[in-house]
Amino acid sequence: MPRTPILPILSYCLVFAATTATAQPGSNVFTPPGTAKPVWVQPGTPGSPINGAVFHAQVLLSSAGFSSGVIDGKDGMSFKAAVRGFQQSRGLPATGKLDIATRRALLDRNRPSTVNVKLGRADIGGNYVYPFPKKAEGQAKLKWAGYRNMLEEVAERYHTTPDTIVALNGPTALIGIGQNLRLPNVLPASTDYQGSPLKPEHRAWFVKLNIDANEPQGDHVVIDKSEGLLKVIDDGDRLVAQFPVTTGSQHDPLPLGNWKVSTYAFLPPFHYQPDLFWDVDDSKDEKMLPPGPNGLVGVAWLDLTKDHYGIHGTPEPQTIGRTESHGCIRMTNWDVLRLSRMLKPGFKAEFRA
């Protein structure tokens, strides 16, 4: 078995942020040229990028089925939307604010905000692809659209970002097999996916991304473009879960109306057809892109009855709700897997402006 290196987590963050980084003499932390040695501030204290109350609320909201996308301790639009959805589901005033009644309802879930994890093979699987090709022509040459490095893999497993892991642990913390990290507490109560027709290799990804076997059950979904939200509605017309999504653009608008999600595909390859992308030259050749978490549609594709449209994952979870798509409905990889546990194929999807 190949050995996995142990490295400072900040070095991986800088791979994403800069094309050149140098190791400073006498230091085990990689620092971009011209910058001072990073100073770590305890999460939840002044100067930290993590708001402790928001971070804990994000963890509790996620466990209740109301995702804010990445768990990062930031009081942004996705967080406020998750709070509003939770409030609505509990019959509370939908203010989007962490008022006393909302905090009490969330704290009933009795879940600490973080968990200390000794990293093992479940967290660090290897088979990394770096540098990861940006263009389809380069991706088509790969056999597997894997993670770029260990930090990206651990961040996705715990529904967060590389920067958040650095903020939680400090820039000198190490990552590798046997190392300990403080991570968002998204551990599932159960991974017993009984009654699910998942293939073993697909089931492994539900475990990999900490998907709970006991998700709330829905009847249909409503996707609201103006809000950037996918809402799961049960057969009693109650809101039971909610996710931030990226939906369409001026060039590829969301197809409004009623559709159905017919089939699910996990770890799908992607048939890249340039003529379906307004920003790609139609003369380019079609390509079959490999499966993997960093593939164009992530780890799952839930196929809509409208040709070429689906609900799918993404290689860039931090962009959900902040960028446009080519008409499809894009979610984080963990959220699209959760959604597949909440509804059976054949469910109705209503798209609203």
- The catalytic residue positions are 312, 328
Of 219, 276, 278, 226, the C-alpha closest to 254 is 226
| 181 within 8 A of 173, measured Cβ to Cβ | yes
| Residue 283 to residue 349: CA distance in whole angstroms | 34
Dihedral sign of CA atoms 143, 147, 150, 153 in order: negative
Helix (H, G, I), strand (E, B) or coil at 246: strand
Cis omega (within 30 of 0) for bond into 38? no
Compute how many other C-beta atoms are within 10 angstroms of the C-beta atom of residue 46: 6
Helix (H, G, I), strand (E, B) or coil at 342: helix
Residue 44 burial by CB count (10 A; 0-12/13-18/19+): exposed, middle or buried?
middle
Give all strands (DSSP E) within 216-347, no chain letters.
220-224, 229-233, 239-244, 246-247, 257-266, 270-272, 287-289, 300-304, 310-312, 329-330
| 32 within 8 A of 23, measured Cβ to Cβ | no
Question: Which residues contact residue 290 at a Cβ distance below 8 angstroms, ignoring those fewer than 6 apart?
Answer: 139, 140, 142, 143, 144, 145, 269
| Residue 118 to residue 347: CA distance in whole angstroms | 39
